[in-house]
Structure 1
């Protein structure tokens, strides 16, 4: 259940009972969702850690991979909020963290996992400069040795007729020359034109 819906139900329950009865525990519980941030819950079911019957070398390698993954995910989150700026962040932060960021994290982790066996994952880094104004780039994941992009995470401003403005989050991959838009979700802004990216 979405956070805003849970809060609304708690408020309605409290009003309906004049505050004399506590809301049900199910509404108050803060259960992690399947797509909750990997940094908060560890890897999702798809990327759960392997059995604990590893040799010391395997455990050290796993620990190194986990640390590098956390570093990448922190950088991705930092670049996202740098892109949004102080004017957009407060409006979309909660929905972004709940619906979009976990998908971005899963894509990054999935890509790192494909390179884990030969330690090539350590060549990938998150770009450090989101673009301002109206341009789409949030951040790219690129190979620091070759300088070539591997994944590109973007956000586009959409304005369907009579619907107001939406932020469409998507990504592109090097596999098809960055041609296909892979959808990550959309967040509604308002009927009014949103400020430029990185506005403070």
Structure 2
């Protein structure tokens, strides 16, 4: 049966039954000989990259190479995704724009510094942790060296409440160079005089 006729029948049945009955999936895909490969989005590609890194047998088959530009782009996308996950539905709409304009470019600079410290053939081993801290935890994400299983850099956000100034979100990072002791500032975003909700709420 031609594709256009099949689609027309589906639409007609749906309209005639007010959407209460739809043709079965078997009918829709009956006699479909075309083998289609699903489109991959960027997150599938990132996931595949992590699977290759975490499995030495696959890594040998794959070229374990990523350019510094691609590494920075990939890390920045993951940094933004992990940050928005941490903010949750209540905080994200309030600070999203300022975070994107002020904090994210500074995160990019920090990631560029990390990229400069490693040869390009080692960058494929650096990955972003995927569990931001909930509640009052400061952790947004870490960049970890999967080869050594050690953190390279940790990105945090702390709630500050200077006297008579309300609440601020202070974004900063720590590096392995000093055992994560020093705070490297990324910037601060004002919240309100009211107590902010917990992270990921």
Match of 1:84 among 79, 87, 100: 87
Matched position secondary structure for 1:96: helix
How far residue 82 of structure 1 moved from its aligned partner, in angstroms, is 0.4
Matched position secondary structure for 2:147: coil
Misfit runs of 4+, over 3 Å: 61-65
Q: Deviations over 1:46-86 (max 9, x none)?
A: xxxxxxxxxxxxxxx99744333322111111001000011
Match of 2:118 among 115, 131, 146: 115
The aligned residue for residue 101 of structure 1 is 104
1:107-146 correspondence runs (5 A):
107-117=110-120, 119-146=121-148
The aligned residue for residue 195 of structure 1 is 197
CA contact 2:165–2:193 (8 Å) conserved in 1: yes
How far residue 111 of structure 1 moved from its aligned partner, in angstroms, is 1.0
Structure 1 unaligned regions, length at least 5:
1-60
How far residue 121 of structure 1 moved from its aligned partner, in angstroms, is 1.3
Aligned residues: 138
Structure 2 unaligned regions, length at least 5:
1-63
Give me the whole-angstrom Cα distance separating, in 1, the residues matched to 2:66 and 2:160: 41
Q: Deviations over 1:92-120 (max 9, x none)?
A: 11111111110001111221122135x11
TM-score normalised per structure 1: 0.66
Match of 2:175 among 168, 173, 180: 173
The aligned residue for residue 186 of structure 2 is 184
1:160 aligns with 2:162: yes
TM-score normalised per structure 2: 0.65
1:68 aligns with 2:71: yes
Matched position secondary structure for 1:99: helix
Matched position secondary structure for 1:198: coil
Give me the whole-angstrom Cα distance separating, in 1, the residues matched to 2:127 and 2:115: 10
Give me the whole-angstrom Cα distance separating, in 1, the residues matched to 2:66 and 2:146: 22
